[in-house]
Amino acid sequence: MKNDMPTPTHTIPIPTPDGEFTARYSSQGLCALEFPSGMKQRRKEAVTARPAAQVLQWHAATSKSLRLTLAGRPLKAPPPIDLSSGTEFQQRVWQTLRKIPRGRTWSYAQVAQAIGNPKAVRAVGGACGANPIPVFVPCHRVVAANSGLGGFSGGLNWKRALLRREGVTVPD
DNA sequence: TAAGTGCGTCGTT
DNA sequence: AACGACGCACTTA
């Protein structure tokens, strides 16, 4: 069963040296982060009200944290994360991903074991692919057990880049 | 070793 | 009922 999407109250772009990311906020905090899209998708996101002070504060934290991460620096004070869009299973997986130390990688099997569902290896892969907040919910730290990378919604090049920038040596 | 095939498993659509 | 961001056992070169 899928929960209702947290209604994003605000959608705000984040310019970085790697392109323009897009952050979405709900009343609970950051609920989605999108990689720069190749095309200039200038469509208006129907943002009604002007961001409240609360959201602006979160966004400042998001921007700063994102830029630090992209620069290969350890992340300091990330914004509150809203994972309520996921199913029970997905949320369990996503919370677990947040426990993977920076610079380290776990296999999909290890994650499955960590959530107490050792046989749901493939399902874990699915949950990773559905992760709405990459980078902050480090799904890029989950790799295949046989020394290969798995996949990555944002493109494998991003997965490699993120891992390398935090000191992990990965194959081509 | 390296590369390819088949199948169990489980959450999601 | 079908499909994966998997893993493992088991062939073949």
Confirm whether any atom of chain B, the nucleic acid strand, is less than 7 Å from CB of A4. no
Backbone angles phi, psi at A4, to 5 degrees: -75, 145
Give chain A's mean pLDDT.
Answer: 92
State residue A42's pLDDT score.
52
- Which of A44, A47, A23, A45 has the alpha carbon at shortest distance from A34? A23
If one counts every other C-beta atom within 10 angstroms of the C-beta of residue A22, the result is 16
Confirm whether any atom of chain C, the nucleic acid strand, is less than 7 Å from CB of A118. no
| Contact status, residue A20 vs residue A13, Cβ threshold 8 Å | yes
State residue A114's pLDDT score.
98
Confirm whether any atom of chain C, the nucleic acid strand, is less than 7 Å from CB of A94. no
Q: CA-to-CA distance for A6 and A26, rounded, in angstroms?
A: 6
State residue A9's pLDDT score.
83
State residue A51's pLDDT score.
82
Q: Nearest nt to A152, CA vs C1'?
A: C5
Q: How far is the CA of A113 from the C1' of C10 (A)?
A: 25
State residue A50's pLDDT score.
77
State residue A129's pLDDT score.
98
State residue A2's pLDDT score.
63
Ranges of chain A with pLDDT below 70: 1-2, 5, 39-49
Confirm whether any atom of chain C, the nucleic acid strand, is less than 7 Å from CB of A156. no
| Contact status, residue A24 vs residue A32, Cβ threshold 8 Å | yes
| pLDDT cut 90: percent of chain A above it | 81
State residue A146's pLDDT score.
86
State residue A86's pLDDT score.
98
Q: CA-to-CA distance for A33 and A128, rounded, in angstroms?
A: 14
Q: Nearest nt to A91, CA vs C1'?
A: B11
Confirm whether any atom of chain B, the nucleic acid strand, is less than 7 Å from CB of A121. yes
Catalytic member of A139, A142, A143, A163:
A139
Per-residue pLDDT tens over the stretch A51-79: 889 999 999 999 999 999 999 999 889 99
The pTM of this model reads 0.93
Residue A139 among the catalytic residues: yes
Q: How far is the CA of A147 from the C1' of B13 (A)?
A: 30
Confirm whether any atom of chain C, the nucleic acid strand, is less than 7 Å from CB of A144. yes
